[in-house]
C-alpha cells in the first residue's frame, strides 16, 4: 500500500515515491502512475501552462461543443511492457483505453486517431501484429481509426512500440456524467471483478506463476454504458479504474465532488486468483489496475434497474454494489473491513507497477 | 537527393534506405521519414489492419461527420531532437504541426489533446518549459488544450520528452480541400521561403555554423488559410511540406490526383542562408522540411486574388507562384532548371534528417 512505500529508489514493484512530493528536480516513474504524483505534475506544470479550463479535465475525457455537436474528446499514450500479455496487447489497450475514457462521459466512441512511435530495429512482424490487434479491437468496439502518424526513433530511445490514441464520440442529449456530480445517497457499483489487468501484467513480466494463467480484463465498455444509460440518462459518475485501481478512482471522485465514499471490502468482487496473487505479493487489490471495468455512482432510485441492466450485459455480469456516497468525511474513501473495522483508502502516491498501460 | 542515397547503413544525414523496400524484417529510420518507405508501411501494414476508409487518410487529416458537424481530425507524434532549437521547441511543433494538418483541410483548429511520454530522469524544469511553450503556441493559434495524458518510461527507453497531439476543428461549409482535387490548369502557390525548419534543426544538431543563425519557420497556418478561403472556398489542395519537404508534398498530390505537376526552380523562394547551407551539405532545398509553410493548388481564375490575400498576411508575405498542374506526366513532378533543362523531382525514399519533428 502506498503509505508503506519506501521513500528511496524503486523496489521490486517499481515504487519510487520520494517524500516530500514537491520540488522534484527530475521526473521519476511515480509521475506516470496516475496517483498523487501524477496529479501534482498536472496541477503544478500542465494546468498552469495550458490554461484554466483544462485543469479539471486533464486525465479524463473532455466534453466540448463543436459545430452544434456535443463531443467527448480524450487521449492516452500506451507504453505497456510487454507488448503482448495474457488477454491482450498494446493494440487492444490503445483502443479500449481511449474508448473507455470516452464512455466514462457517456459517449460512444466514433473515431480514433493513432500515433505510432517505433524504435529502430523493432521487427516489422511485431508492428504488423500490434496493428492487426488494434484494428480488430476497433472493429469490436465499433470505432473507426480515421487518421494516424508514424515516427521512428533510434535504437535505445524507445521500447519497440509506443502508441497514442485520441478519440472522439458523441455525448447523448441529457447526459452529464462527471466526477463532480457525485452526491450523498448515490449507490456505488463496480461492473465486475477487479485486479485482473494488473496481476496479468505482473505475472508475465516478473515470471510469476499463480497456478492458473490470469488474463487481463481488457475490453471496451461503450456497450455496457449504453445499456446503463438506457435505464436512465441520469448516471452521476462513471470512472474506469485503470492506473491506481479502484482506490485512485474512488479518491478522485470523492475529492472532485467533496463527498465521502464508504465501501464494504467484503462486497468488492475480487477473483480468487487475484486475491491469491495479491496475498503472495503483499498488494491490495483495490490499488491494482483494471482495463475493462467501471465504477458508477448512481442515484439510489435507479440503482436496482441499472444493476439489472449491467447483469444482462456480458461485461457487467458480475456487477455489484460496493458502497455508497456519504456526507461524512468529505474527500475521503473509507472501507469497512470484513472484521467490522474501518480503514482509510488513500490515493496511491506513485505506481505499484510502472508501464502497466 | 534520395535517388543518390547509399543503400546500406545510415550516413551523416541519417539516410538508411536499403533497396529493395519490400521485406524489411525490421523498422529502420527511413520508415519515419514521410517518404516512400513511410508510405509503404502505411499501405502494407496499417491500412490493411485498420480497414479501407483510412487508407487515403492516414498521414493527413481526416474529414468526418459527427452529430451533424463536419470535423477535421488529425494526429502527430513529435520526437524532434533537440527539444529546443532556434525559432521553436517540441512544444511549438506539437501545436503548430497538428493545427496545420487541420488547416490543410480548411479547418480552423478548435481543440487539442496532448500526450506526454516522459523519460525517467528528465528535469521537471525542462518539462515545464516545454509545457509553457506548448500553452503559449496554443494561445497564439487560438486552439485550446482540452485533454491530456502523461506516461513515464524508464531511463534509456525514451529521449527526454516525446509528445503527441491530436486536434479537431470545424470544416467550413462548401469547403472540400484534398489532394485528389488537383486538376490540370491549377496554379501551384507556395506560401513563403522553404527549407528553414530543416536547416535550423540540422545546424543546431550537427553543430554547423552558416554565418547567421537560421531560425525554424515553425508557425500556425490557420489564419493564413482563413484569409485564402475568404477569397474563395474553392481551393483545391492545401498541403504543408514538412517531412520530405516540397518534393514529397508535390509528389503526394500528383500521385493522389493522377495529374502532373511542373514547377520552375527559379520561382521557388529559397532564402540565401538555406541555399548556402544546402550547397555546403549537398542537399536539395526541395527535400528539406518546413513547419510554417503551405503549398496550394488554386483554380487559375482565383490565383491572383488568393496570392494577394496571402501577401496581405504576415505568414504569406513571400508567397509565390511556383508552377502549375498539367495533364502531361501524370503522377510525376518535373522541375524546370534555371538553365532551361528539366529534371524529375522524385518522392524521397526515407529521410534526410531523422527526428526533425
- Of B25, B127, B164, which has the smallest distance from its Cβ to A124's Cβ? B25
Please tell me the distance in Å from B62's CA to the nearest CA on chain A. Answer: 6
**Searching chain A, which residue's CA lies closest to the CA of residue B46?**
A131
Q: Is residue A190 part of a domain?
A: yes
Predicted pLDDT at A19: 40
DSSP letter (8 states) at residue B323: E
- In which residue are the cell numbers 489532394 written? B179
More confident residue, B171 or A351: B171
More confident residue, B10 or B91: B91
Q: Please, which residues 120-159 of chain A have a Cβ atom closer than 8 Å to chain B?
A: 120-125, 127-128, 131-132, 134-135, 138-139, 144-154, 156-159
In the predicted model, what is the mean pLDDT of residues A235-258? Answer: 96
Q: Is residue A284 part of a domain?
A: yes
Q: Is residue A352 part of a domain?
A: no
CB–CB of B297/B182 below 8 Å?
A: yes
Cell of A148: 494516424
Quick check: B164 and A168 CB within 8 A?
Answer: no
Task: Judge if A135 and A78 occupy the same domain.
Answer: yes
Q: Please, which residues 166-195 of chain B have a Cβ atom closer than 8 Å to chain A?
A: 166, 168, 170
Torsion of CA B12, B286, B47, B186, to 10 degrees: 180
Q: Is residue A353 part of a domain?
A: no
Residues A207-223: tens digit of each pLDDT: 877 778 899 999 999 99
- What's the CATH number where B308 sits? 3.90.650.10
Q: Which of A241, A76, A82, A102 is nearest to A163 (CA)?
A: A76
> How far are the Cα atoms of A241, A351, B157, B217 from residue A288, in angstroms, in the given order?
9, 9, 24, 46
Question: Among A170, A203, A223, which residue terminates a domain?
Answer: A170
**Searching chain A, which residue's CA lies closest to the CA of residue B33?**
A151
Residue A170: pLDDT over 70: yes
What is the C-alpha separation between A173 and A176, in angstroms, rounded?
Answer: 9
Task: Judge if A190 and A339 occupy the same domain.
Answer: yes
Question: Among A141, A170, A199, which residue terminates a domain?
Answer: A170
Residue B2: pLDDT over 80: no
Task: Judge if A154 and A185 occupy the same domain.
Answer: no
State phi, psi for A71 to the nearest 5 degrees.
-115, 145
Please tell me the distance in Å from A86's CA to the nearest CA on chain B. Answer: 21
Residue B269: pLDDT over 90: yes
DSSP, collapsed to helix, strand or coil, labels residue A224 as helix
Residue B336, exposed/middle/buried by CB under 10 A (0-12, 13-18, 19+)? middle
What is the C-alpha separation between B104 and A240, in angstroms, rounded?
Answer: 36
What is the C-alpha separation between B147 and A63, in angstroms, rounded?
Answer: 9
| pLDDT confidence tier of residue A9, bands split at 50, 70 and 90 | very low
Sign of CA dihedral B129, B134, B137, B138: negative
Sheet of strand B161-170: strand arrangement: B62-66, B69-78, B161-170, B108-119, B144-153
| pLDDT confidence tier of residue B353, bands split at 50, 70 and 90 | confident
Cis ω for the linkage preceding B20 (within 30 of 0)? yes
The H-assigned helical ranges of chain A are: 36-41, 47-50, 90-103, 124-141, 196-205, 222-231, 245-257, 272-281, 300-311
Task: Judge if A111 and A158 occupy the same domain.
Answer: yes
Does B47 contact chain A (CB < 8 Å)?
Answer: no
What is the C-alpha separation between A188 and B45, in angstroms, rounded?
Answer: 43
State phi, psi for A271 to the nearest 5 degrees.
-65, 150
CB–CB of A240/A321 below 8 Å?
A: no
Predicted pLDDT at A354: 86
Cell of B299: 483554380
Q: Is residue A79 part of a domain?
A: yes
- In which residue are the cell numbers 497556418 written? B221
- What's the CATH number where A45 sits? 3.30.1330.10
- Of B54, B124, B355, which has the smallest distance from its Cβ to A24's Cβ? B124
Residue A161: pLDDT over 60: yes
Residues A124-144: tens digit of each pLDDT: 999 999 999 999 999 999 999
Q: Is residue B225 part of a domain?
A: yes
Please state the domain count of chain B.
1
Mean model confidence pLDDT for chain B: 90
Q: Which of B163, B87, B82, B156 is nearest to B121 (CA)?
A: B156
What is the C-alpha separation between B5 and B348, in angstroms, rounded?
Answer: 10
Please tell me the distance in Å from B161's CA to the nearest CA on chain A. Answer: 11
Q: Which helix (H) or strand (E) holds A89?
A: strand A88-89
Residue B185 belongs to domain spanning:
179-344
In the predicted model, what is the mean pLDDT of residues B176-189? Answer: 97
Q: Inter-axis angle of helices A124-141 and A90-103, to 10 degrees? A: 30
What is the C-alpha separation between B43 and B58, in angstroms, rounded?
Answer: 9
List of residues 6+ apart from B170 with CB closer than 8 A = A66, A67, B69, B70, B71, B72, B107, B108, B110
In the predicted model, what is the mean pLDDT of residues B266-280? Answer: 95
Torsion of CA A4, A7, B116, A248, to 10 degrees: 20
Predicted pLDDT at B3: 37
In the predicted model, what is the mean pLDDT of residues B299-304? Answer: 98
Q: Which helix (H) or strand (E) holds B62?
A: strand B62-66
| pLDDT confidence tier of residue B52, bands split at 50, 70 and 90 | low
> Contacts of residue B156 in chain A, CB cutoff 8 Å?
156
What is the C-alpha separation between A344 and A346, in angstroms, rounded?
Answer: 6
CB–CB of A349/A326 below 8 Å?
A: no
- In which residue are the cell numbers 506544470 written? A45
* CA–CA–CA angle A211, A212, A215 (5° rounding): 145
Task: Judge if A139 and A74 occupy the same domain.
Answer: yes
Quick check: A59 and B162 CB within 8 A?
Answer: no
Task: Judge if A189 and A337 occupy the same domain.
Answer: yes
For B88-137, give the DSSP string. EEHHHHHHHHHHHHHHTTTPEEEEEEEEEEEETT-BHHHHHHHHHHHHHH
Predicted pLDDT at A281: 86
In the predicted model, what is the mean pLDDT of residues B66-80? Answer: 96
Q: Is residue A215 part of a domain?
A: yes
Task: Judge if A36 and A87 occupy the same domain.
Answer: yes
Q: Is residue A26 part of a domain?
A: yes
Task: Judge if A240 and A159 occupy the same domain.
Answer: no
Predicted pLDDT at A257: 96
Predicted pLDDT at B206: 81
What is the C-alpha separation between A224 and A218, in angstroms, rounded?
Answer: 14
Predicted pLDDT at A35: 86
Predicted pLDDT at A300: 98
List of residues 6+ apart from B338 with CB closer than 8 A = B265, B266
Q: Which of B334, B226, B317, B314 is nearest to B269 (CA)?
A: B317
Residues B100-146: tens digit of each pLDDT: 999 999 999 999 999 999 999 999 999 999 999 999 999 999 999 99
What is the C-alpha separation between B291 and B100, in angstroms, rounded?
Answer: 8
Question: Among A119, A152, A170, which residue terminates a domain?
Answer: A170
Quick check: B64 and A110 CB within 8 A?
Answer: yes
> Contacts of residue B29 in chain A, CB cutoff 8 Å?
120, 152, 154
User: The complex's ipTM?
Assistant: 0.93
CB–CB of B118/B150 below 8 Å?
A: yes
- Of B32, B118, B170, which has the smallest distance from its Cβ to A31's Cβ? B118
In the predicted model, what is the mean pLDDT of residues A252-265? Answer: 97
Task: Judge if A262 and A335 occupy the same domain.
Answer: yes
Task: Judge if A264 and A334 occupy the same domain.
Answer: yes
A71: which strand partners? Answer: A64, A170
* CA–CA–CA angle A236, B114, A41 (5° rounding): 75
Mean model confidence pLDDT for chain A: 90
Residue B58: pLDDT over 70: no
Residues A28-78: tens digit of each pLDDT: 999 998 888 888 898 889 989 998 565 555 446 899 999 999 999 999 999
DSSP letter (8 states) at residue A4: G
Amino acid at each position: 500500500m502506498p503509505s508503506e512505500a519506501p521513500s528511496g529508489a524503486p523496489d521490486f514493484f517499481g515504487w519510487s515515491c520520494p517524500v516530500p512530493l514537491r520540488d522534484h528536480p527530475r521526473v521519476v516513474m511515480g509521475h506516470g502512475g496516475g496517483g498523487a504524483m501524477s496529479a501534482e505534475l498536472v496541477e503544478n506544470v500542465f494546468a498552469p501552462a495550458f490554461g484554466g479550463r483544462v485543469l479539471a479535465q486533464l486525465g479524463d475525457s473532455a466534453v466540448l461543443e463543436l459545430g452544434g455537436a456535443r463531443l467527448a474528446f480524450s487521449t492516452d499514450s500506451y507504453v505497456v511492457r510487454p507488448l503482448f500479455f495474457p488477454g491482450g496487447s498494446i493494440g487492444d489497450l490503445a483502443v479500449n483505453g481511449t474508448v473507455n475514457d470516452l464512455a466514462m462521459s457517456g459517449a460512444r466512441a466514433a473515431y480514433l486517431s493513432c500515433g505510432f512511435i517505433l524504435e529502430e530495429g523493432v521487427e516489422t512482424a511485431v508492428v504488423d501484429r500490434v496493428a492487426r490487434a488494434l484494428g480488430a479491437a476497433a472493429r469490436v468496439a465499433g470505432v473507426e481509426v480515421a487518421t494516424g502518424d508514424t515516427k521512428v526513433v533510434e535504437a535505445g530511445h524507445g521500447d519497440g512500440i509506443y502508441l497514442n490514441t485520441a478519440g472522439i464520440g458523441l455525448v447523448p442529449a441529457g447526459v452529464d456524467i462527471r466526477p463532480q456530480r457525485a452526491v450523498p445517497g448515490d449507490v456505488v457499483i463496480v461492473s465486475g471483478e477487479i485486479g485482473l489487468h494488473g496481476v496479468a501484467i505482473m505475472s508475465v513480466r516478473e515470471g510469476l506463476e499463480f497456478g492458473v494463467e490470469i488474463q487481463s480484463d481488457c475490453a471496451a465498455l461503450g456497450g455496457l454504458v449504453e445499456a446503463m444509460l438506457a435505464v436512465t440518462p441520469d448516471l452521476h459518475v462513471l470512472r474506469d479504474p485503470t492506473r491506481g485501481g479502484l482506490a485512485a478512482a474512488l479518491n478522485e471522485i470523492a475529492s472532485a465532488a467533496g463527498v465521502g465514499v464508504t465501501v464494504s471490502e467484503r462486497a468488492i468482487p475480487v477473483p480468487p486468483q487475484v486475491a491469491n496473487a495479491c496475498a503472495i505479493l503483499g498488494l491490495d487489490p483495490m490499488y491494482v489496475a483494471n482495463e475493462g471495468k467501471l465504477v458508477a455512482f448512481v442515484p439510489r432510485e435507479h440503482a436496482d434497474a441499472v444493476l439489472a441492466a449491467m447483469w444482462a450485459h456480458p461485461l457487467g455480469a458480475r456487477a455489484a454494489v460496493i458502497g455508497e456516497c456519504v456526507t461524512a468525511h468529505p474527500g475521503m474513501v473509507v472501507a469497512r473491513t470484513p472484521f467490522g473495522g474501518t480503514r482509510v483508502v488513500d490515493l496511491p502516491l506513485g505506481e505499484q507497477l510502472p508501464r502497466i498501460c
